[in-house]
């Protein structure tokens, strides 16, 4: 399975498909970090997690779309359906983690982070840790959304783009509005808001459990879709 992960990452990079989401992410983060003054780490990273969420989901969709259908079917025969699906998701996680690391490092040379104390004198290091946590919650959710929008599920570029757009818009709308059910989407916006204030252990566990449950349901839907469309 590791060889299959490496194969998919190599195909994603060598075909040049990785450039579009990476450049889009760098542009978005450059505008975000370079257009204003310095902010506290948790606030900066909370916004960053929201900004790169659609980039990570789009990147996942592209990575899973690169492999030809015939090659994907051969991989299912060689390693089995479950491992074939897992290899694609793992490759997407690795690629997404690289983007997350860039997002975490980028604000420092641009002077977008202030080390001044946060809410209630919260140490800057705690703010950084909360920002990293926000990104780590957003990454699996973005991978799951990108997987649901991928060609093996939607069978069409138009349907895939629609699923991706609806998912991203839903994250923003449900995260900002109290009139809709927030549990329909991963807690990307909720986490970004939470890290700007002191986060209690209970709130942290709730957001983590919420994200894990959403990802589990989304990946179950992805596995079901792959089985029915094999």
What is the total count of domains within the chain? 1
In the beta sheet, which residues pair with residue 106? none
Give the three-state DSSP class for 39: strand
Instruction: Quote the pLDDT of residue 37.
Output: 67
Instruction: Quote the pLDDT of residue 140.
Output: 97
215 within 8 A of 208, measured Cβ to Cβ: no
Task: State the maximum Cα–Cα separation within the chain, in Å, rounded to a whole number.
Answer: 57
For residue 195, the enclosing domain spans: 2-228
- For 156-190, b where at least 16 C-beta lie within 10 A, e where not — what string? eeeebeebbeebbebbeebbeeeeeebeebbbbbb
Helix axes 19-34, 81-105, angle to 10 degrees: 30
186 within 8 A of 171, measured Cβ to Cβ: yes
Instruction: Give the pLDDT of the chain (230 residues) as one tens digit per residue.
Output: 788 888 888 888 888 888 899 899 889 888 888 766 677 888 889 899 999 999 999 999 999 998 877 777 777 777 778 888 999 999 999 999 999 999 999 888 888 887 765 555 567 788 889 999 999 999 999 999 999 999 889 988 889 999 999 999 988 888 776 656 777 899 999 999 888 888 888 999 999 999 999 999 999 999 998 888 76
Instruction: Quote the pLDDT of residue 48.
Output: 92
Instruction: Quote the pLDDT of residue 222.
Output: 94
Instruction: Quote the pLDDT of residue 68.
Output: 76
């Amino acid at each position: 399975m590791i060889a299959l992960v490496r194969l998919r990452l190599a195909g994603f990079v060598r075909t040049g498909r990785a450039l579009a989401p990476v450049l889009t992410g760098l542009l978005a983060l450059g505008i975000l970090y370079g257009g204003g003054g310095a902010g506290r780490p948790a606030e900066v990273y909370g916004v960053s997690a929201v900004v790169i969420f659609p980039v990570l989901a789009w990147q996942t969709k592209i990575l899973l779309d690169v492999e030809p259908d015939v090659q994907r079917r051969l991989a299912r025969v060689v390693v089995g359906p479950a491992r074939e699906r897992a290899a694609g998701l793992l490759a997407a996680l690795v690629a997404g983690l690289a983007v997350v690391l860039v997002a975490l490092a980028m604000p420092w040379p641009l002077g977008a982070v202030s080390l001044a104390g946060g809410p209630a004198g919260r140490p800057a290091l705690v703010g950084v840790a909360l920002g990293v946590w926000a990104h780590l919650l957003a990454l699996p959710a973005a991978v799951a959304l990108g997987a649901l929008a991928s060609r093996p599920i939607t069978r069409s570029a138009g349907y895939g783009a629609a699923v991706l757009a609806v998912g991203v818009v839903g994250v923003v709308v449900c995260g900002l509005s109290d009139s809709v059910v927030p549990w329909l989407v991963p807690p990307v916006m909720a986490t970004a808001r939470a890290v700007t204030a002191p986060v209690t252990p209970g709130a942290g566990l709730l957001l983590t459990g919420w994200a894990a449950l959403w990802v589990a349901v989304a990946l179950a839907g992805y596995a079901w879709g792959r089985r029915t469309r094999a």
